[in-house]
Structure 1
Amino acid sequence: MILLMCLAIHLDYQKKLREEINETYPDGNIADITITQLQQLKYLDMVVHESLRLLTTVPMNMRNVSSDFKMHLPAKDDRGAITALVPKNTLVVLDVFNMQRDEAHWGPNAKKFDPEHFAESKSERHPYAFIPFSKGTRSCIGWRYSLLLTKIFLVKLISSFEFQCPGTKLEDLHFTEGISLKFHDSQKINFQIRKIP
């Protein structure tokens, strides 16, 4: 739903995605979508990843520290870097929502929906700047299935329907903190669907 809302607000990106889908399926036959075809849809990947970056489904992760470790924090003034000891059994909360909107990694448009954030030319950013499914041994076990299913649904929906959210802007929406991302003011979203003839 969040991904469709992003495309409904940004009709130019929706149009570009529809054009890529139409090029991949020129006869309009999307009944049997193959993995190979999905891998050809590069802009689809960019759109899906950008929605997960900007409006990540799980806005925070918690981890229990398994052994003492030293954390080095960069200096913000003339005093130099700070080293802090994080003791074993400390609960650490990762603010994924804001980490993935950090201008240091995503540039001045970090808070705007722009699939070009995932263009190949911009792929040299820190590997932990984008962690919608977490990373490492504790990452989401179903992330591949989730992405695959999302892409299949999106191909079928975008090829058949046009989505619009007139008057809605992402920057005007507020979010409710919790385990999953929710809109505090969802009544402001004017979601419209039109079948493509």
Structure 2
Amino acid sequence: MVYIKLKYFTLRGPIPGLSPHIFFGNLLQSGLLLGKRSASDVYISFKKRFGDIYQYWLGFMRFIVVHDIDDVQYVLTHRNVYDQGQVSLIGLVITSIYSFWLLGFKFKRHGTLTMPLFRRSKIISNINTIVDSTDKLLDRWRARPHNQVHTDVVEQCQNLLLEIFGLIAFDYNLETLDNKYSSNNNELTEALLDIMSTFKMAIYAPSFVSIIYMKLNTRFQRARATVERHFHKMIEQELAESPESRAQRKKTSLIASLVNSLQADEKVEARKKEEDKRGLSRKEVFDEVLMFLIAGYETTSTALAWSIYHLSKQQRVQQKIKAELMENNGGQHLSLDYLDSLIYLDCFINEVLRYSPTIDSTCRSVTVDDCLPKSGTRLYKGDQVLIPTSSLARDRRHWKIDPELFYPERFLDEDKNHHPYAFLAFGGGHRQCLGQDLALFELKVILARMLQQMTIGDGGPEVNAGGFIQKLTLIPKHVGVTIEFH
């Protein structure tokens, strides 16, 4: 035990930090494990105590947290020295292959095939899918009593984004919004939700606890088997389509595009060196789709829930968005040109992502010994660097307008030309979020559609108090709003 403490849970070198507990690192001391504080608050408090660079333990994993913006820019722009951080927990959920955390030739192989899936031309083709799904949610809300306070906003946002994910990824209706009066889900939907629930439970636990929890969790194992069964059935259905049909479906369906990348002979490809491999195995395609779910559905639904909360609290902002909607198009149709004209709505979405970020940080792994230029801090091969993006977004040194204010106009005026590394809602550098354009497009379409038809009000201080729950993302805890349809 003494050996484990000295080897894995002891401050190393001259970089300051809080001496970690055995197994739990700084999770208990910081209040993060018990949900008393958000990760963003933890990083800010450690910065006040230790300065712009300090050591921090997430369970067994030691990170060097970097707040200095010049050093942050250096890390994110020197890809030959700082590669994607080797965070391993998600691999426990979706095995060990996923493009967000892949390295080297494997990342290049996956990226070559997956990055084109998120080009603007493919993203904008989903506008009708997003609008139709949003209309389903609006119909569900219309069916409720007029004076009801909606306290299930987070759940309904999750239902909406899961429905959109199913249609875009699988061309499959997960039926999360089909029944206005029942929350019963179909088998695949329940399995996907169980996987997400398991991941949320494990994300901030020590790695050894997470491993045991997932291995012994029969509900998770059944859910994974169910998703795999449905997934392989979808692949067979895609392969049975005619070449002409598949070519057409590639324009809107993620799985149709990925099926085209399947390896002709997986055994032959498996024997090749990584740099010589082509295409993806079925297992890799499955893992990519699950990664898109975990990285996209949860984060976007949380951003939407925060957006609704802020609209309920910021009536001036809501009315300004509505005025922009009316000024550019008085009707109900949503065209791409119309969406592009909604500049203030863009500012609002950016301010939500800055003020209430869904993801608190991004990580990089040091591949060779190096020295950060601003602070002079020595880093060594294998060190893990954590960049607290949520903290940078609230750092007064980088914003002309008080960053503690929720003020969308900052992106039109004084802070329009803010430091590019002060606002990293989707990470930065060559490994920034692959699906950021899709997420922003989804949010803009959904919010424009909602505010065309309804006004969001504050349900009162007891039910609409905000707060947070730290899970995979920072979820609003108390959201209670009124909805008045026009």
Give TM-score, length-normalised by structure 2.
Answer: 0.35
Q: What do residues 7-55 of structure 1 show as CA deviations (whole Å, max 9, x unaligned)?
A: 11000000000000011112x122xx22222111110110011101111
Answer 1 or 2: which has greater helix percent.
Answer: 2
Q: 1:12 to 1:92 in 2, by over 3 A?
A: same
Residue number in structure 2 paired with 1:161: 454
Q: 1:176 to 1:98 in 2, by over 3 A?
A: farther
Residue number in structure 1 paired with 2:472: 179
Residue number in structure 2 paired with 1:98: 391
Give the one of 4, 7, 10 matched to 2:314. 10
Q: What do residues 64-83 of structure 1 show as CA deviations (whole Å, max 9, x unaligned)?
A: 1222221244xxxxxxxx41
The one-letter amino acid of 1:194's match is E
Moved more, 5-14 or 91-100: 91-100
**Residue 336 (structure 2) pairs with residue 35 (structure 1):** yes
**Residue 451 (structure 2) pairs with residue 150 (structure 1):** no
The one-letter amino acid of 1:99's match is L
Compute the RMSD of aligned alpha carbons.
Answer: 2.0
Q: What do residues 66-122 of structure 1 show as CA deviations (whole Å, max 9, x unaligned)?
A: 22221244xxxxxxxx41111121111221221111111123520121101211553
CA contact (8 A) 1:59 1:179 kept: no
| Greater RCO, 1 or 2 (C-alpha within 8 Å, sep 6+) | 1
Residue number in structure 2 paired with 1:67: 368
Q: 1:174 to 1:98 in 2, by over 3 A?
A: farther
CA contact (8 A) 2:400 2:414 kept: no
CA contact (8 A) 1:103 1:110 kept: yes
Percent identity, aligned pairs only, is 25
Q: What do residues 139-190 of structure 1 show as CA deviations (whole Å, max 9, x unaligned)?
A: 1111111111111111110111111225459xx744344431123xx23x33
Q: 1:167 to 1:107 in 2, by over 3 A?
A: farther
Residue number in structure 1 paired with 2:199: none
The one-letter amino acid of 1:58's match is I
Aligned equivalents of 1:138 and 1:177: distance in 2? 24
Residue number in structure 1 paired with 2:28: none
Q: 1:109 to 1:122 in 2, by over 3 A?
A: closer
Where do 5+ consecutive residues of structure 2 fail to align? 1-304
Q: Which SS does the other structure have where 1:145 is aligned?
A: helix
Where do 5+ consecutive residues of structure 1 fail to align? 74-81
Q: Which of the two has higher C-alpha Rg?
A: 2
Aligned equivalents of 1:88 and 1:37: distance in 2? 49
Aligned equivalents of 1:178 and 1:71: distance in 2? 31
Size of the aligned set, in residue pairs, is: 180
Residue number in structure 1 paired with 2:480: 190
Aligned equivalents of 1:66 and 1:175: distance in 2? 36
The one-letter amino acid of 1:29's match is Q
The CA deviation at 1:193 is: 1.3
Answer 1 or 2: which has greater strand percent.
Answer: 1
CA contact (8 A) 1:133 1:143 kept: yes
